[in-house]
Amino acid sequence: MANTPYNEQKNVDEKKFIEILGDTVSGNQLIISIILSVAASFLGYQLGQWVFPKFADPQMINSYSLLTGIAGILIVVVINTILFKPKRILVEDETSSHSLKEAFEDLQIDIDEEIRLIEEDPVTKKELEDFGILSSLQGLKGADKK
Amino acid sequence: MSIYLIALLFALLGAAIFTVIGLISGTDETAIMVPITLLVILLGAPPEGVFAFFMAGVLAKHLTHAVPTALLGIPGDTTAVPLIDHANTLRRLGMPHVALRKMISGGVIGAFIALPTAVLLGQFLGQFADFFKSSSGIIFTLAAILIAFFSKGKWASLLIIIPFAFFIKALDSVSFAMLDKHLSITFFLGIAIGPMFCNILMAASPVAKNDLTRSKQNQYNLAPETKSWKGYFPNPFKILSKRQTIFTSITTFLSSLTFVFSPVGMTSLMGEIVGSRTKGAYKKSTTSLTVMNGVTESTYIAEAIIPLIAFGIPLSPVALGPASPLFNAPPIFTVDPVNNLHTLMSSWDFFIFGLIGISVAALIAYPFAMNYARKASVLVLKYISQEAIVAMFIGLAFLLAYNEAQLLGVVLTFTVATVGGLLNRILGVGAGVQFMVFYASSWIMLQLFGI
């Protein structure tokens, strides 16, 4: 194929995403974020080790340095959040009566049976009524047979 | 300042931090709880404050991690995995908000049942504490074998117990020779961040990369929300039907007593038992979700509290994972000799400060998740990148390791993370097994080689 070299080129390109802890990230951006974060925690900690001995209780120097380290990390979290946008696609679902019917089919639930079981149980019926869902369910009655 | 006020402040802090963290989906329980709890301990918080912080954090995190589970159909963390099927059924039926409300109402009830139950059981088991403490080496080893067998890696986990103990002991000897003190935070930070670090390593290797590369961004389908009740603070008993409340109460009480099993296992089991007795897709899903989330919560709390009160050594999956800093955070808390919350707090203290913790979390996270679930998840998904989150946790691990043993600590942590993470990701040797072997390693090596 003529375009194979081009495709291979693309594979190492940053167009590809990497999945870390269940979410997609850009490899290069991740490396930069980690370097920034580690550097900030190190600098923050060293700053604490340098500043606090001048006035703080010697026992507390390490604890206070941890705090300056965290401050460094948090600053970098803000910077990273501004620099690197999330690699996610967000789709806002709409539920309609049509998709509800489809959902029942996908889940292999018998609609009439389901409605019967709900109507038999006053607690559940009342609950669905309060949620405003009962009417759209009842609208589907007999939809299986069509 | 009175200790109650201090505990209250720490509980507020824990609830606030973990309410936000819970919204970020897919986060690994141990990797997040361990570094943040360690920080609070090392910063010098009093034991009561640490405990209230931890309890508030656990409950708040579990309440808000129900948000991605219900609304996005992705587990908030590993403990939410068994709930995903039922949550998806309701999501497909256009009722994710119902799923969410049922889940977190069950969770709140579970927490308040588990606390007193666990304190009482812990106190009862306390009479056997001397036996457990004096033979902790062999108990850790037997527990490691048991946990290994029930982990995902099964036989592989069993086979690596001795090599992994050898690995730990070898690193310990080298670092002891250099520093003249035994390190421990560095070790279990390494185990905790192992899976995350392993993913990063794999992404950096052209050979291993393929498993992780995706040609598309992850897509999240966010379900619509219909606001159906008024007021800010909902009553969990009104959200649940009577039947659901009773089932949740019974199952959470029972699961509070079984502190040696994994929360995920108990959750699946109880959900299955209750679900099979319920007819109709809607009722089955809502009832199962309520019960399951309640059980997750109660097992979790009981597993942290019972070994703390009874033994002072971490003898449950949660105590070995997320709650491990409460047992072992040298120089402040140590397991050998036992000098941690077990020795510093009475059973009554555990109850009072635990109650402060879960009450604060319930007051903050519960109405928050009920009212702002959708808005909050849109904000997180749109603006907070995973890069920033992963980088933050690597930064925290670096900081804590550096604080314990400077460069050596950092090298050690990432060495353990590399080995532990690969074992975890590739062979299914879970973090619980690795923690157990870490505690058992001294005894195993003593028996084998006399050192």
B349: closest CA among B46, B126, B48?
A: B48
A30 and A65 both lie in a single domain:
yes
| A56: closest CA of chain B, how far (Å) | 14
Closest CA to B352 of B82, B108, B3: B3
For residues B192 and B30, the answer to whether their CB atoms sit within 8 Å is yes
A108: left (phi over 0), alpha (psi -120 to 50) or beta: left
- In-domain check, residue A68: yes
- Provide the token pair at B124: 């009862």
What are the DSSP E strand ranges found in B245-302? none
Tell me whether A65 touches chain B (CB under 8 Å): yes
Pair (A77, A102) in one structural domain: no
Pairing of strands B213-214, A17-20: antiparallel
In total, how many domains does chain B have?
1
Element housing B148 (H / E): helix B136-150
Phi-psi label, residue B74: left if phi above 0, alpha if psi -120 to 50, beta otherwise: beta
Beta bridge partners of A19: A24
Higher pLDDT, B432 or A40: A40
Is B79 within the bounds of a domain?
yes
Nearest CA in chain A to B391: A34
Whether residue B317 is contained in a domain is answered as yes
Q: Do A93 and B281 touch (CB under 8 A)?
A: no
Identify which of B64, B32, B69 has the alpha carbon closest to the alpha carbon of residue B366. Answer: B64
Residue B45 in domain:
yes
**B82: pLDDT strictly greater than 70:** yes
Q: What is the per-residue pLDDT across B33-43, written as a single tens digit (0 to 9) for each?
A: 888 999 899 88
Determine the Cα–Cα distance for residues B403 and A73; give it in Å rounded to an integer: 15
Residue A90 lies in a domain: no
Q: Is residue B106 part of a domain?
A: yes
Question: In this prediction, what percent of chain A has a pLDDT beyond 90?
Answer: 26
Residue B244 lies in a domain: yes
Residue B166's H or E segment, with its range, is helix B161-179
**Max Cα-Cα span within chain B:** 68
Closest CA of chain A from B205, distance in Å: 11
The pair of three-digit structure tokens given for residue B378, joined into one six-digit string: 């849109």
Residue B174's contacts (CB-CB under 8 Å, 6 or more residues apart) are: none
Mean pLDDT, all residues of chain A: 78
Strand partners, A20: A23
Q: Which range among A22-31, A131-140, B191-200, B432-441 shows the weakest confidence by mean pLDDT?
A: A131-140
What is the sign, positive or negative, of the torsion defined by CA atoms of B35, B40, B44, B49? negative
CB atoms B381 and A131 under 8 Å: no
Measured between beta carbons, which residues in chain A are less than 8 angstroms from residue B74? 22
Task: Report d(CA B64, CA B374) in Å as an integer.
Answer: 11
Look at B399 and A34 and tell me if their CB atoms are within 8 Å. Answer: no
Count of domains forming chain A:
2
A102 belongs to a structural domain: yes
pLDDT for A43-93, tens place per residue? Answer: 999 999 999 999 888 877 888 898 899 899 999 999 999 999 988 888 776
Q: State the average pLDDT over residues B330-335.
A: 88
Q: Which residues pair with B28 in a beta bridge?
A: none
Which residue range(s) make up the domain with A63? Answer: 14-83
Distance (Å, whole) CA A130 – CA A115: 16
CB-CB neighbors (< 8 A) of A89 in chain B: 217-220
Q: Over 90: is that where the pLDDT of B259 sits?
A: no
- Same structural domain, A31 and A69: yes
| A-chain residues near B27 (CB < 8 A) | 21
Q: What percent of chain B has pLDDT over 70?
A: 97
Q: How far is B450 from chain A (nearest CA, A)?
A: 36
Strands B218-222 and A88-92: parallel
Matching residue, tokens 């109460």? B249
Largest CA distance in chain A: 83
If asked whether residues A105 and A72 sit together in one domain, one would say no
Nearest CA to B420 out of B15, B19, B26, B34 is that of: B34
What is residue A3's predicted lDDT score, i.e. its pLDDT?
A: 42
Mean pLDDT across the stretch B395-401?
91
Cβ contacts (< 8 Å) between A12 and chain B: which residues?
A: 206
Specify whether A75 is located in the same domain as A37: yes
Measured between alpha carbons, how far is B286 from B274 in angstroms, rounded to an integer?
Answer: 11
- Provide the pLDDT confidence category of residue A115 given band limits of 50, 70 and 90: confident
Strand partners, A24: A19
Do A50 and A102 share a structural domain? no
**DSSP one-letter code for B423:** I
- Whether A88 is in a domain gets the answer no
Collapsed DSSP state (helix, strand, coil) of residue B187: helix
The residues, ordered by sequence, that sit 6+ positions from B212 with a Cβ below 8 Å of its Cβ are A18, A19, A20, B199, B202, B203
User: Which residue type does A10 have?
Assistant: K
Residue B140 lies in a domain: yes
Does residue A61 sit in the same domain as residue A122? no
The answer as to whether A42 is a domain residue is: yes
Say how far apart CA B388 and CA A87 lie, in whole Å.
Answer: 12
For residue A146, being part of any structural domain is answered with no
Mean pLDDT of B206-222: 82
B34 domain residue, yes or no: yes
Q: B224 lies in a domain?
A: no
- Summarised one tens digit per residue, pLDDT across range B203-212 is 888 888 888 8
> What's chain B's Rg over C-alpha atoms?
21
**Parent domain of B19:** 3-216+236-449
List of residues 6+ apart from B235 with CB closer than 8 A: none
ipTM of the complex, rounded to two decimals: 0.78
Phi and psi torsions of B222, nearest 5°: -95, 125
On chain B, the residues whose CB falls within 8 A of the CB of A73 are 392, 395-396, 399
Same domain, A18 and A75: yes
Interface test with B, best of A28, A29, A33 (most B CBs within 10 A): A33
Q: How far apart are CA B63 and CA B297, in angstroms?
A: 9
DSSP state of A89: E
Q: Please tell me the predicted confidence (pLDDT) of residue A143.
A: 58
Taking the Cβ of residue A138 and every Cβ of chain B, the question of whether any pair is shorter than 8 Å is answered with no
